[in-house]
Structure 1
Amino acid sequence: MDTTKLNHSKLGTKEYWDNFYKLEKENFAENPDDTGECWFADSGAEEKIVDFVFSNLDPNVSICDLGTGNGHLLFEILQEGWKGQLVGVDYSEASVQFAKTIAKTNDLNVEFYQSDILNLEDQFLKTNAGNFDLVLDKGTLDAIALSDNLYDGKTGQEVYPDTVKILLKKNAVLLVTSCNFTQDELIKVITASGNFEVWKTVEYPVFEFGGVKGSAICTVAFRRR
């Protein structure tokens, strides 16, 4: 049984995320302090990601955040002192508009674009080939794995490593955080195409159940070959 194949869910649909971020934008309009959901907050993932990025990369290099949502991760990186280009992309136009609104309201220098990075004809993908030193993914591959969309007969998670590598310079880094895959499963998905190799991992608290040890979340850094 291939445990990297997940059951389809509404969380894998564009309609769900369009509606989700439309509501978050409306909430923000009523209360500018409400900048929306911070995914994986319970596990402290965002803090660990930010710490990893600053500890392992030059703060002058370019970053692209896939499935950026409300842009929260990029805003945190910027406010910690990042100097390089920060770009967020999402296939939900509602998400992009929400993130742009937050950035404009708070005068934050982060760019946001609508993009379906699984589509080889996507304009953002074409115009940014080899542009980034680091690509971030906090839960986006999780959502892709829950979708029933096909790309030339392949699932989104099968296509993902091939299309994401286009955005990265050679030897650049893809940092993926997942709550749906174990660390071993995530490594299997990303390295299957041969475009990436494991570079480093981020440590999270370990629990034991039924004699098996594991974490509720994992973050793995891959190098683009």
Structure 2
Amino acid sequence: MSGDETTIKLNPSKLGTKKYWDDFYEVEHSNFEENQDDTGECWFSDADAEDKIIEFLFSNFNQIESLNPEAKICDLGTGNGHLLFTILEEGWKGELVGVDYSEASIKFAKDIADANDLDVMFEQSDILDFKDEFLVKNTEEFDLVLDKGTLDAIGLSDSKYGDNGELSAVDMYPQTVKNLVKKGGLLIVTSCNFTEEELSILILKYGDFKVWKKIDYPVFEFGGVKGSAICSIAFMRL
């Protein structure tokens, strides 16, 4: 890859539309209503991403001020809330908040939380809208902001932003999401659509973050080229 951010483009897909995710979570919610043991899909489970993320959080406690047992976490594109529920079950003490632009997702996650008496909050939010109520209300509120596959879906959107429609969804992402993260806090992004290099270019583009650490995944080799199926990078808010 050249390192030019203009080369980092994904082809638009229905997975980048709100309708797709509303329909998806309405089906998952319906399945849950029939069987409360069916809490839906866990994204990147084949790579043990959730376990890797949680192990990373707990093993790095107190290495920086914002990473401690009482840290306040926001999960972007929370879906069914599975990541936050797992973090809570592992003994996390800080406030846990999940956001998603799909109302169906939020209703589903809330119902799972209520059914299992889990202390996790969920709110609907369009994190790419500077004027979004949740974004405005929670400026620099979170020690940790997690993203497991949400930037991947955002990269599949053909929506345009900016005064003249000159910005893509992935252009907007680091500009709006930074507002949720405390200075010195972390944005941890897990992706299967972007390489580590591409992910770094996208998040570091506007100078609001720096790479802090990366999470290691099994490496494969194909045709003499080494890589992994997914990557996770912890970016520190400057």
Fold shared, TM-score > 0.5 on shorter chain: yes
CA deviation string 1:14-69 (max 9, x = no partner): 00000000000000000000000000000110100111111222110100000000
Distance 2:40 2:59 in 1: 27
2:27 aligned to which of 15, 23, 26: 23
Letter paired with 2:100? D
1:144 and 2:148 matched: no
Distance 1:128 1:118 in 2: 14
Equivalent runs, 1:149-188 vs 2, <5 Å: 149-152=159-162, 153=165, 154-188=167-201
Distance 1:130 1:39 in 2: 27
Distance 1:3 1:42 in 2: 28
Identity of aligned residues (%): 66
Q: Name the counterpart of 2:103.
A: 93
1:211 aligned to which of 221, 224, 230: 224
Distance 1:8 1:66 in 2: 20
Q: Name the counterpart of 1:47.
A: 51
1:196 and 2:206 matched: no
8 Å Cα contact 1:118/1:159 also seen in 2:
yes
Q: Any stretches of 5+ residues in structure 1 without a counterpart?
A: none
8 Å Cα contact 1:3/1:185 also seen in 2:
no
Q: Any stretches of 5+ residues in structure 2 without a counterpart?
A: 61-66
Letter paired with 2:175? D
Q: TM-score scaled by structure 2? A: 0.93
1:63 and 2:91 matched: no
Distance 1:94 1:73 in 2: 17
After TM superposition, give the deviation of residue 3 of structure 1 in Å. Answer: 4.1
The count of corresponding residues between Structure 1 and Structure 2 is 225
Letter paired with 1:118? L
Q: Name the counterpart of 1:37.
A: 41
Q: Name the counterpart of 2:143.
A: 133
Residues 23, 44 of structure 1: alpha-carbon distance in 2 compared, 3 angstrom cutoff: same
8 Å Cα contact 1:201/1:219 also seen in 2:
yes
CA deviation string 1:173-223 (max 9, x = no partner): 000000000111111111011111000000011111111110000000000
User: SS where residue 69 of structure 1 aligns?
Assistant: coil
Letter paired with 1:180? N
Q: Name the counterpart of 1:14.
A: 18
